[in-house]
Amino acid sequence: MAVAKGKSRDAAARKRRQKAKEERLSLVLYRRPFITLHYFLLETVTNLKEWMSKLRERRGTVLLFLGVCSVVSITFYTAYYTEGAHQTHVHYLAKRFHWSVYWLILGIMSSCGLGTGVHTFLLYLCPHIINVTLAAYECGSTDFPEPPYPEHVICPQIVGTESITVWSIMSKVRLEACMWGIGTAIGELPPYFMARAARLSGTDPEDEDYEEFEDMLEQDSAQGCVPRAKLWVKDMVQRLGFFGILAFASIPNPLFDLAGMTCGHYMVPFWTFFGATLIGKVCVKMHIQKLFVIMVFSKHIVEQLLSLIGSVPRIGPSLQKPFHQYLEAQKKKLRNEGSTEAVNGNWLQWVFGWVLLVTIFLIVCSIIHSMAQTYAKRLQQQMQLKEKKKKKTKTK
């Protein structure tokens, strides 16, 4: 009897959790716009208050950090503007530092991003690699200005005669790609620390993904492709350890957050998890992605693709024309001959611009939805605490 009552209570609790989750997921802009925006603003204010209270608790550390940053900034500022032989090196280091931090932040946004990954590889890094690849073949050299580049890459006045290879282009974009890869590895740490803290404290964090992860741990088998894939990832990481993490970090893997949660839950050492993730994402995955983009947009491949587009019956020539115009305009821009009007007037450029705007809009909407649903979960937990207190007072 006691076992049956326990099972019925568990089933009722699961139904309540499922109903509460469905209510939270209904908080989207296209269904409930006003309450979604209201909860988003309230969650923003709540987070700001929590951050400010944490900063006040650690004000000694904060003051020390600000003091060190002030001393470093003043020293660097003085060296930057004081005339001397050192100024060239300081300016070079400043440019490289800003350029590296820019790509590092984009990498963190790609794998972390306030509950939703911002696809910064497709939006920023991939177009940058394409631009450098086209410039290298058109200029006949990779000796154009060091990053950060101006508005667009300009070929050197003396046209190079060096043979352009995939490896020379890869070395030209190595800094940007590696910093972006390091950022993606850093962005994978929150799920690891969340699961590790929950295991140490014995309490569940306020995160839906972790709740799903714990439900998955209780299941011996799962139905459907995605649940089975999740169980397989969990088993592989648990069995192979460092090499399992390395394998999953070395390929584009939307389930890698699950690997981080698994490592945190089973108390895998930090440097084992982060070291394997860093090696996989920077040394393997990033080079595969970079090599693929450079090979696809190399000169002979682009020419073959244009000829294939032109060979399509009836619509081929009309499709080929805007691509050809766009590439010609880009070549003139690389040689600083100016063709801004031609590029802006091309419908292909117009389509790319709108795709970028729509992507950014969807990312912003997903962030709003995530934060609104988090605030709704706070309210639900407060209601549950009140109900528990009422039951305790009644029993007394």
Specify the higher pLDDT residue, 331 or 263: 263
Q: How big is the chain, counted in residues? A: 396
Tokens of 228: 């089975």
On whether the pTM is more than 0.85, the answer is: no
The overall average pLDDT reported for the chain is 76
Specify the higher pLDDT residue, 195 or 3: 195
3-state helix, strand, coil in the chain (%, to 5): 80, 0, 20
Q: Nearest CA to 108 among 182, 9, 58?
A: 182
The pLDDT tens digits for 147-205 are 655 456 666 665 555 677 888 888 888 888 999 999 988 888 888 888 777 777 665 55
User: Among residues of the chain, what percentage have pLDDT more than 70?
Assistant: 71
CA triplet 111, 239, 243: central angle to 5 degrees?
55
Q: How many CB atoms lie within 10 A of CB 346?
A: 18
Helix ranges, 188-298 (H)? 189-201, 208-218, 225-240, 242-249, 256-265, 270-278, 286-296
Specify the higher pLDDT residue, 275 or 226: 275
